């Protein structure tokens, strides 16, 4: 699964690498470095609202809140979506067809149990670069925050690769750059082909390292979270 992640790179850096056409717009969603992004927080999403429209970068609540939901708490159970079954789940089938997004990140955490407590591990690019996780988005208009409809998102997961499988049997789908256009295009609706994009990352993409247990507390948001031990 993916329950916490980082986006330490500024918008100009992740845009230049992933989506250079968005650079001018991405500054509107730029944040200070994020070391411990947790569910229910607002995260950066890149999406296309309708076929033929330009890509946009927006903030969305992490944890999908479907249009029919009457309580925000449902999103706490939908921070991740299994790639293998997206087209069989009512909450994910429509977003898979027309509401797909990219969620930029430069690391994510997993935990192992030890005799002294839960030990966090940080997975990040071998080259120290940002990457794009595959996601879905939706809008709930009945539950409003500050009078605005709630846009929310979920991160899609798949089988872990050999680099990360010793930590967890699932990992976020990290899309290849060549697949961005098809994934983001709402006009592309071949669900079986879309599901074929949701593969484990190559063994050489990520490295793992032990980090401070400071990150275990979701309220901690500082560089200590990623310090190696």
What amino acid positions are annotated as catalytic residues? 2, 110
The answer to whether the Cα torsion of 62, 64, 67, 71 is positive or negative is: negative
SS3 25: helix
pLDDT confidence of 21, banded at 50, 70, 90?
confident
**Helix and strand totals (H; E) in the chain:** 5, 12
Q: Answer whether residue 26 shows pLDDT above 90.
A: no
* β-strand partners of 135: 101, 155
Domain regions of the chain by residue span: 5-107+133-205
What average pLDDT does range 147-170 have in this prediction? 95
What fold is seen in the domain 5-107+133-205?
hypothetical protein yedk fold (3.90.1680)
Q: How far apart are the first and last CA of the chain?
A: 23
What phi and psi, each to the nearest 5 degrees, are found at residue 39? Answer: -55, 150
Whole-angstrom Cα distance, residue 139 to residue 142?
Answer: 9
Whole-angstrom Cα distance, residue 133 to residue 45?
Answer: 10
Is pTM beyond 0.85? Reply is yes
Q: What is the mean pLDDT of the chain?
A: 95
Rounded (5°) CA angle 213-124-119? 20
Per-residue pLDDT of 81-121, as tens digits, reads: 999 999 999 999 999 999 999 999 999 999 999 999 999 99
């Amino acid at each position: 699964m993916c329950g916490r992640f980082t986006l330490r790179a500024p918008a100009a850096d992740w845009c230049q690498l992933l989506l250079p056409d968005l650079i001018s717009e991405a500054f509107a969603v730029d944040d200070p470095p994020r070391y411990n992004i947790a569910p229910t927080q607002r995260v950066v999403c890149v999406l296309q609202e309708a076929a033929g429209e330009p890509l946009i970068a927006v903030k969305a609540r992490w944890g999908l809140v479907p249009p029919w939901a009457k309580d925000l708490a449902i999103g706490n159970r939908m921070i991740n979506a299994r790639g293998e079954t997206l087209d069989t789940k009512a909450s994910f089938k429509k977003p898979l067809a027309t509401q797909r997004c990219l969620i930029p990140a430069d690391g994510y955490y997993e935990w192992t149990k030890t005799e002294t407590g839960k030990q966090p591990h940080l997975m990040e690019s071998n080259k120290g670069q940002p990457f794009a996780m595959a996601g879905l988005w939706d809008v709930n208009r009945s539950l409003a925050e500050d009078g605005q409809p709630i846009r929310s998102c979920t991160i899609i997961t798949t089988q872990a690769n050999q680099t990360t499988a010793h930590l967890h049997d699932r990992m976020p789908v990290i899309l290849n750059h060549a697949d961005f256009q098809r994934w983001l295009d709402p006009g592309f609706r071949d669900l079986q082909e879309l599901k074929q994009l949701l593969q484990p990352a190559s063994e050489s993409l990520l490295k793992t390292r032990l980090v401070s247990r400071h990150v275990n507390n979701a309220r901690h948001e500082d560089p200590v979270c990623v310090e190696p031990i």
